[in-house]
């Protein structure tokens, strides 16, 4: 049997370092949030204010994961934006159930997400 990865993330910065795509893979559970939160804060402290979370390979989103996203959205509120892209059907269903689609714009791909939050 193959083992499902617990959690992985990859940060891809824009050429001007004003934005970042954070691709999430596996389960964004409380342990993963403890790993991801300081990394996101380091990027924020470096001056990045545009965040796109690519959820294509995310299989689970805990309430702590939602809290991380909401906290970052509030943190960049007056200076930048947070968007989500490519959620799997399972994650999209969760986002809709929690009414997070009213809070976070959801895009079909990274380019569309960045174009929208860069305006």
pLDDT tens by residue, 53-92: 999 999 999 999 999 999 999 999 999 999 999 999 999 9
Distance CA 42, CA 62 (A): 22
pLDDT in tens, 36-49: 999 999 999 999 99
User: If you average pLDDT over residues 4-13, what whole number do you get?
Assistant: 86
Record the pTM: 0.93
Q: Is residue 46 part of a domain?
A: yes
CATH of the domain at 19: 3.30.750.24
- 104 DSSP 8-state letter: S
* 20 pLDDT higher than 90: yes
Q: Is residue 2 part of a domain?
A: no
Q: Is residue 53 part of a domain?
A: yes
**What range defines the domain where residue 89 resides?**
7-114
Q: Is residue 1 part of a domain?
A: no
Domain count, the chain: 1
Distance CA 111, CA 119 (A): 13
Q: Is residue 52 part of a domain?
A: yes
Q: What percent of the chain has pLDDT over 70?
A: 96
Distance CA 99, CA 1 (A): 36
Q: Is residue 119 part of a domain?
A: no
CB-hemisphere CA count at 13 Å for 11?
16
Phi-psi region of 54 (alpha: psi -120 to 50; beta: other; left: phi over 0): beta
Stated as kind and residue range, the H or E segment containing 71 is helix 63-76
User: If you average pLDDT over residues 28-40, what whole number do you get?
Assistant: 97
């Amino acid at each position: 049997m193959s083992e499902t990865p617990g959690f992985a993330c990859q940060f891809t910065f824009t050429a001007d370092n004003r934005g970042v795509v954070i691709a999430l893979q596996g389960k964004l559970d409380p342990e993963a949030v403890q790993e991801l939160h300081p990394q996101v804060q380091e990027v924020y402290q470096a001056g990045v204010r545009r965040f796109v979370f690519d959820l294509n390979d995310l299989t689970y989103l805990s309430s702590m994961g939602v809290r991380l996203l909401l906290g970052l959205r509030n943190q960049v509120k007056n200076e930048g934006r947070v968007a989500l892209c490519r959620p799997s059907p399972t994650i999209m269903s969760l986002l809709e159930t929690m009414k997070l689609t009213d809070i976070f714009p959801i895009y079909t791909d990274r380019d569309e997400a960045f174009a929208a939050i860069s305006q």
